[in-house]
C-alpha cells in the first residue's frame, strides 16, 4: 500500500522538513537481470539490497531470480527495512564499512540526496547503463540523479501524479443523483453530492486530518487547480501560501465540516484509517492517490468494483486547470562501498524495461515512469481512469536545485517553520485557527524570512546562491518545465 511505498512529500510544506527527512527515511525497489549468458559466472558475488518496498517484493523477487539464473555466480540478498529505521541503519552500516551494495533513500527532499552524494555515499552507474528511452533521458537531471555529469540513479515512477483524485462509492453517488461513472466535476457539485449522501451515520466525505503531510498535499493540489503555481511562485520565487487560491482550497475543505457532511471522526484519522472507514461505507467520498486501487484490492477487495474515481475536482468547469509536480528523484542508489558497481548496474538496468513498467502498473500504486505501460497492464478501470486524469492535469514543475545545486545548502540550513499547511487545516477544523488567510500568510512570511536568513548564512561562506535561483521567468502555466528550459 502507498504508505509503505511512497515517501511522504514535504513539497507542500516547503523545505523545512530537510533535517527530519534526512534523519528518518527510505525508498526503493528491487532487482533485475541482464539478457545473455552468465556474464559473472567466474566468481561468486552476493549483492546486498536494502529497501522498504514490501508490496513490490513479489515483482522484484522474480527479477532477482531470473538474473541469478542467467548469472549463476551472482545472487541478491534482500533485506526489508522499516522506514523509520532505515536512515539510522544506513548511517551505522556506512560507518562500520558494511553498507549494502544497493539501497534506497526515503525522502522527496532533493537536498538530502545532494548532501549524501557530496558525503561520498554513492557510486555512479557503470558506463554500460543504457538510458536510451525519451522518458528516461528526460528524468536524468543534474542535481537530482546526475552529479558532475555522471548518472547515479533513476526514477521508476512518473512525476505525473498527485494525491487528490476523488474516489467514491457508486451506490452513494447514485443516491446523490450524479452519474456514478463520472462523479462530480466541480467543487460545488462535490459539496452538493456530499450533502445528499449525508444521512444518519453516513457522511459525504472523510478526511485524514491527523495525517498533516497528506492534508498539506491535498491543499497544494486543490490550490493549484484554483490557479496557484505551486509551492513557490515560479515567476517571483515567493511563497504563495497566503494567496487566494490557497485560501479557497482550505475554505473548500472547511465547507464540508460547516454543512455537516464531513465524517466527524476525520479529526482523529490518518489516511489508512480514513480509507478503511470509507471502504466500510461510513462515507461516500475520499481523496487519495492512484495507489488506492491497489490498496483496496489488497485489503477491501469485496468493494473494489463498487468504486468510481476521477481526476481532482475543479473550482469551476470549462477552464484549464493544472497541478505541478517536481521531477522524480532516483529510487535505487549504488553504495560507494559496493565492490562491483558493474554488476549492480546490470541488475538495476532491468528496472528500466517495459516488462518492469508493466509489472509496476499492475501493482496499482504510483504510476510507472513510462505511463504508456498502464495501457498494456492488467489493472482495474479506476486505476486507468486516474492515470488518464494525470496526463491531462499534471505538469512538470521547475526545480531550484537543478538550476543551482548550491540551493541544497540553503535547504540544509533552513530550520522547520510551524505550523505548516497541514497543521493550519487541522487547527481551522478544530476551531483554533479563526482567520485562515492571515494564518497562511504568516506561514508564508516565516518561510520567506527563514529562507532569507539561510541564503545569507550560506552566501557568507562564499557559496554562490541567491533568491534568483527560485525564479524561472520562462515558466508558463500548463506547460512542462523540461531540461531544455534550464538552458534558456
Q: What is the pLDDT of residues 404-422, one digit of tens each?
A: 988 988 988 999 899 999 9
Q: Determine the distance from the C-alpha atom of residue 18 to the mean position of all C-alpha atoms in its chain, rounded to a whole number.
A: 15
pLDDT digits (tens, 9 = 90+) for 21-52: 333 332 233 333 333 334 444 458 999 999 98
The three cell numbers locating residue 342: 558493474
Phi-psi group of 155: left, alpha or beta (phi > 0 → left; psi -120 to 50 → alpha; rest → beta): beta
User: So what's the pLDDT on residue 43?
Assistant: 56
- Which residue numbers in the chain have pLDDT < 50? 1-2, 4-42
Closest CA to 145 of 352, 432, 443, 451: 352
Cell 480514513 sits on residue: 274
Q: What pLDDT sits at residue 109?
A: 64
pLDDT of residue 9: 35
393 grid coordinates: 492535469
Q: Give the up-direction half-sphere exposure of residue 397: CA atoms within 13 A in the CB hemisphere.
A: 29
pLDDT at 317: 83
Cα within 13 Å of Cα(381), Cβ side: 8
* C-alpha–C-alpha distance, residues 245 and 223, integer Å: 5
Nine cell digits for residue 195? 450533502
Where are any strands of DSSP class E within 346-473?
394-396
Asked if residues 365 and 359 have their Cβ atoms less than 8 Å apart, the reply is no
Is residue 213 within 8 Å of residue 9, measured between CB atoms? Answer: yes
Which among 218, 163, 181 has a CA at the least distance from the CA of 309? Answer: 181
Q: Where do the H-state alpha helices sit in 229-340? A: 244-258, 271-279, 292-299
- CA dist 488 and 273 (Å) reads 47
- For 18-40, the DSSP string reads HHHHHHS----------SSS-TT
Q: Which domains does the chain have, with CATH numbers?
A: 15-159+328-379 (3.40.190.10), 161-325+395-488 (3.40.190.10)
Q: Which three cell numbers stand for residue 210?
A: 491527523
Check residue 7 and give its pLDDT: 39
d(CA 69, CA 243): 57
Distance, CA of 278 to CA of 206 (rounded, Å): 7
In angstroms, how far is CA 371 from the centroid of its own chain?
A: 15
Cα–Cα dist 88/308, whole Å? 41
pLDDT value of position 108: 60
Determine contact, residues 190/252, Cβ cutoff 8 Å.
Answer: no
- Cα–Cα dist 350/292, whole Å: 26
Instruction: Write down the H helix ranges in 281-340.
Output: 292-299
Ranges assigned E (strand) in 57-176: 74-80, 102-103, 122-123, 146-147, 150-151, 165-169
What is the model's pLDDT at position 52? 83
CA dihedral (165, 57, 29, 22) positive or negative? positive
Half-sphere CA count of 453, side-chain side, radius 13 A: 13
Task: Tell me the percentage of the chain whose pLDDT exceeds 70.
Answer: 90
Amino acid at each position: 500500500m502507498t504508505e509503505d511505498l511512497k515517501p511522504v512529500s514535504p513539497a507542500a510544506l516547503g523545505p523545512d522538513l530537510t533535517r527530519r527527512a534526512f534523519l528518518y527515511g527510505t525508498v526503493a525497489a528491487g532487482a533485475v537481470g541482464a539478457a545473455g549468458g552468465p556474464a559473472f559466472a567466474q566468481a561468486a558475488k552476493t549483492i546486498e539490497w536494502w529497501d522498504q518496498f514490501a508490496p513490490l517484493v513479489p515483482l522484484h523477487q522474480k527479477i532477482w531470480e531470473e538474473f541469478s539464473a542467467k548469472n549463476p555466480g551472482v545472487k541478491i540478498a534482500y533485506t526489508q527495512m522499516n522506514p523509520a529505521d532505515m536512515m539510522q541503519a544506513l548511517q551505522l552500516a556506512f560507518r562500520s564499512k558494511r553498507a549494502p551494495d544497493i539501497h534506497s533513500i526515503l525522502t522527496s527532499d532533493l537536498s538530502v540526496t545532494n548532501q549524501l552524494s557530496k558525503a561520498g555515499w554513492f557510486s555512479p552507474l557503470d558506463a554500460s547503463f543504457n538510458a536510451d528511452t525519451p522518458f528516461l533521458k528526460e528524468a536524468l537531471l543534474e542535481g537530482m540523479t546526475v552529479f558532475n555529469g555522471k548518472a547515479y540513479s533513476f526514477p521508476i515512477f512518473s512525476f505525473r501524479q498527485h494525491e487528490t483524485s476523488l474516489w467514491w462509492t457508486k451506490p452513494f453517488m447514485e443516491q446523490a443523483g450524479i452519474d456514478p461513472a463520472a462523479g462530480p466535476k466541480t467543487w460545488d457539485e462535490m459539496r452538493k453530492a456530499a450533502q445528499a449522501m449525508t444521512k444518519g451515520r453516513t457522511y459525504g466525505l472523510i478526511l485524514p486530518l491527523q495525517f498533516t503531510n497528506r492534508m498539506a498535499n491535498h491543499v497544494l493540489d486543490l490550490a493549484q487547480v484554483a490557479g496557484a503555481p505551486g509551492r513557490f511562485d515560479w515567476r517571483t520565487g515567493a511563497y504563495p501560501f497566503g494567496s487566494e487560491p490557497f485560501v479557497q482550497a482550505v475554505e473548500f475543505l472547511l465547507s464540508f465540516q460547516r454543512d455537516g457532511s464531513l465524517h466527524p471522526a476525520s479529526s482523529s484519522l490518518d489516511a489508512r484509517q480514513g480509507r478503511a472507514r470509507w471502504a466500510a461505507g461510513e462515507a461516500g467520498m475520499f481523496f487519495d492517490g492512484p495507489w488506492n486501487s491497489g490498496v483496496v484490492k489488497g485489503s477491501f477487495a469485496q468493494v473494489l468494483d463498487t468504486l468510481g474515481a476521477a481526476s481532482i475536482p475543479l473550482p469551476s468547469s470549462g477552464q484549464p486547470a493544472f497541478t505541478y509536480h517536481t521531477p522524480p528523484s532516483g529510487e535505487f542508489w549504488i553504495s560507494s562501498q559496493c565492490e562491483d558497481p558493474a554488476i549492480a548496474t546490470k541488475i538495476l538496468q532491468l528496472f528500466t524495461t517495459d516488462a518492469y513498467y508493466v509489472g509496476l502498473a499492475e501493482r496499482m500504486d504510483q504510476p510507472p515512469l513510462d505511463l504508456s505501460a498502464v495501457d498494456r497492464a492488467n489493472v482495474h478501470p479506476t486505476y486507468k481512469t486516474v492515470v488518464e486524469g494525470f496526463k491531462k492535469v499534471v505538469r512538470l514543475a521547475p526545480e531550484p536545485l537543478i538550476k543551482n545545486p548550491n540551493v541544497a545548502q540553503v535547504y540544509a540550513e533552513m530550520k522547520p517553520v510551524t505550523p505548516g499547511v497541514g497543521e493550519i487545516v487541522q487547527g481551522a477544523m478544530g476551531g483554533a485557527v479563526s482567520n485562515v488567510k492571515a494564518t497562511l500568510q504568516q506561514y508564508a512570511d516565516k518561510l520567506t524570512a527563514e529562507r532569507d536568513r539561510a541564503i545569507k548564512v550560506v552566501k557568507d561562506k562564499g557559496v554562490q546562491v541567491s533568491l534568483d535561483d527560485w525564479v524561472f521567468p520562462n515558466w508558463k502555466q500548463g506547460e512542462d518545465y523540461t531540461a531544455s528550459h534550464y538552458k534558456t
